[in-house]
Amino acid sequence: MKLIFLGPPGAGKGTLASKAALLLNVSHISTGEIFRSAMAAGSPMGLKVKAIVDSGKLVDDETTVELVKERLSQKDTEKGYILDGFPRTIPQAEALDKFVKIDRVINLNISDSVSLERLGGRLVCRKCAQNYHAVNNKPKVDGVCDKCGGEIYIRDDDSAASIQKRLEVYRLQTAPLIDYYLGKDLLSDVEAWHSVDEVVENFRKVLNLN
């Protein structure tokens, strides 16, 4: 099964994708992971991405699509995958349509107030990028990632002003994908303001999983 997860910042795309990938026995693929792997490999494309990221700019559509296409050609994607953080724009979605047939697009619904509440307390592992929350999902040991033992920190872009800006960018660039995939009869909504377990259960119902 090939899925796309959409949703505003703080919707829990990464958290649900990690659990859904285990549930469906498919790969969880995020653009962040793709960028980090490319930069770590030091390939020409990875060096290009690093230069863009270091300059504070967003990686352009053409480069992102090329990296995603390369990632989706790897063996671990044969059983399917969940795309988390891609596509972010209509041009990216149109490019994806040329080499992949997506089975379903899951749109995680939350309000702006929930985004602010969640991201304001978000903690991230510096090593593996696993997400935690200062109130709702604390690591077992303060400051230490349960998954890899890496250092947990608060991202600079999780300030209230930065979150508001990210929401504006989402509404401008990514929200139009909702209508795009509705038009293709691929979109299913999942209410994401509930607890993690409830969101997973809602996801199961949408896909008719027992």
Residue 166 a catalytic site member: yes
Residue 36 a catalytic site member: no
Q: Which entry of 155, 171, 184, 205 is annotated as an active-site residue? A: 155
SS (H, E, C) 79-90: CCEEEECCCCCH
What is the distance between the alpha carbons of residues 42 and 21, in angstroms, rounded to a whole number? 28
Peptide bond just before 176 cis, omega within 30 deg: no
Residue 118 a catalytic site member: no
At what angle are helices 61-72 and 31-41 packed, to 10 degrees?
90
What is the distance between the alpha carbons of residues 81 and 7, in angstroms, rounded to a whole number? 17
Q: Which entry of 19, 104, 166, 204 is annotated as an active-site residue? A: 166
Token duo for residue 178: 């909702």
Residue 171 a catalytic site member: no
Alpha-helical runs (H) found in 44-83: 44-54, 61-72
Instruction: Just list the catalytic residues.
Output: 13, 88, 122, 155, 166
